[in-house]
Amino acid sequence: MDRAILQQAEAIAREAIQQAGEWARDKFGRGIIVEEKDRFGDVVTEVDHQAEAILLEAVQRAFPDHQIHSEEAGHLGPKSDWLWLIDPLDGTNNYAIGLPVFAHSMTLLYRREPVLGVVYEPLVNRMYICQAGQGATCNGRPIQVRRAADLHRANIGWIQGHRVQQESRAVRLRQHIDMSCKRMLRLWAPTIQWCMLACGQLDGIVLYNSEGDDLYSGLLMVKEAGGVVVDFNGKPFTGMNSEPYLIACHPDNQQVMLQLVHDGLQK
C-alpha cells in the first residue's frame, strides 16, 4: 500500500467533503425536492445528488484509475485494488424532515480493507479523519473510545439496515438492549454514531444487518480510536460483508457486549 496515495487521498477527500457539506448546510431547511427510493421508506433528495456530484468529480479527477461505489450513482471506474465508498448524505431521511442530524462519508479501501475514512458534519463543522495505523482525529485532535464501567449506565447505539424493518429477531434484541442499558440511541445516520463511539460519547454499537457506503469509514474510525469491532460470535471483523452483524466497543467491554447480544437473541 502506497502511503503517498493515502496522503493525497486524504487531502482530496477533506477538501471535497467540506465543499459538499457547505452545499448541504446552505440548502438545509429551505425546501428541497424529495423522492422515495423504495418500498421501505428510504428517500433521496436533490442535495444527495449535488453532494455526490461534488465528491465524485474530485475523486475521478485525482484518481481516474480507482474504482468507486457511491450510494446513488452505483459502481464507477475500472476494477482496481483501490475502492472508494461514498455516502453523499448519510441521514437523508433526517435531512428531508428538517432534523439536523446528518453527515457526509468517504472511505478508501485497499484490497477490500478500509485504509482511509473521512466523515464531515457540516452543521457543527466537525471533520473526522482516520488512516489505517495512524489513529483517528476530530478537527485535528486525537479521539479515543472509552471504557464503560457499568452496562446499565451505558449509552448504546443501534444501527439496522432499511430492509430489516420489524423483523422479530431484531425487535427482540432491540428491546433487550433498550431495557438493559441507560439509553439505546437510534439516529438513522450511522456514520455519526460510529464517530460518537470513537470520541467516547457512546459506549458501544450493535449493528444488525446494515451494510452500505456509510459503514466502513465508521468501522475504521472506531478501530483507529482504540475500539474493537467483532461479529455476534466475537470474531474480529475484517474485509467486507454484505450482511454484517456487529458489535463495537472498548476492548474491555467486548465480553459484556457479546453477552448482552447473546441474551437478547435468546429471548
Pairing of strands 155-160, 183-185: parallel
Cα separation values, 222 from 28, 80, 165, Å: 28, 26, 26
Q: What pLDDT, on a 0 to 100 scale, did the predictor assign at position 39?
A: 65
Residue 211, pLDDT > 80, answer yes
Give the orientation angle of helix 216-224 with respect to helix 190-199, to 10 degrees.
Answer: 0
Ordered domains of the chain (ranges, CATH): 3-142 (3.30.540.10), 151-266 (3.40.190.80)
pLDDT, average across residues 160-178:
93
Query: Based on the number of CB atoms within 10 Å of its own CB, is 170 exposed (0-12), middle (13-18) or buried (19 or more)?
Result: buried
Ramachandran bin of 229, using left for φ above 0, alpha for ψ from -120 to 50, beta for the remaining angles: beta
Residue 181, pLDDT > 70, answer yes
User: What residues have CB less than 8 Å from 186, skipping those under 6 apart?
Assistant: 157, 158, 159
Q: What pLDDT, on a 0 to 100 scale, did the predictor assign at position 198?
A: 98
Cα separation values, 49 from 28, 71, 137, 169, 188, Å: 14, 10, 28, 35, 19
Residue 139, pLDDT > 80, answer yes
Q: What pLDDT, on a 0 to 100 scale, did the predictor assign at position 40?
A: 64
Residue 141, pLDDT > 90, answer yes
99 is in an annotated binding site: no
Per DSSP, the residues of 110-125 read ETTEEEEEEEEETTTT
pLDDT, average across residues 231-260:
96
User: Could you read off the pLDDT of 53-99 as tens digits, one per residue?
Assistant: 999 999 999 999 999 999 888 899 999 999 999 999 999 999 999 99
Query: At 2, is the pLDDT very low, low, confident or very high (cuts 50, 70, 90)?
Result: confident
Q: What pLDDT, on a 0 to 100 scale, did the predictor assign at position 45?
A: 86
Query: At 43, is the pLDDT very low, low, confident or very high (cuts 50, 70, 90)?
Result: confident
Amino acid (1-letter code) at residue 226: G
Distance of CA 135 to the CA centre of its chain: 17
User: What residues have CB less than 8 Å from 53, skipping those under 6 apart?
Assistant: none
End-to-end CA distance of the chain: 45
Q: Residue 206: which H helix or E strand, with range?
A: strand 204-208
**Cα dihedral 166, 231, 215, 227 sign:** positive
pLDDT, average across residues 118-144:
98
89 is in an annotated binding site: yes
pLDDT, average across residues 140-156:
95
Cα separation values, 177 from 151, 174, 206, 256, Å: 10, 5, 9, 12
Distance of CA 238 to the CA centre of its chain: 15
Q: Identify whether the C-beta of residue 167 lies closer than 8 Å to the C-beta of residue 137.
A: no
231 is in an annotated binding site: no
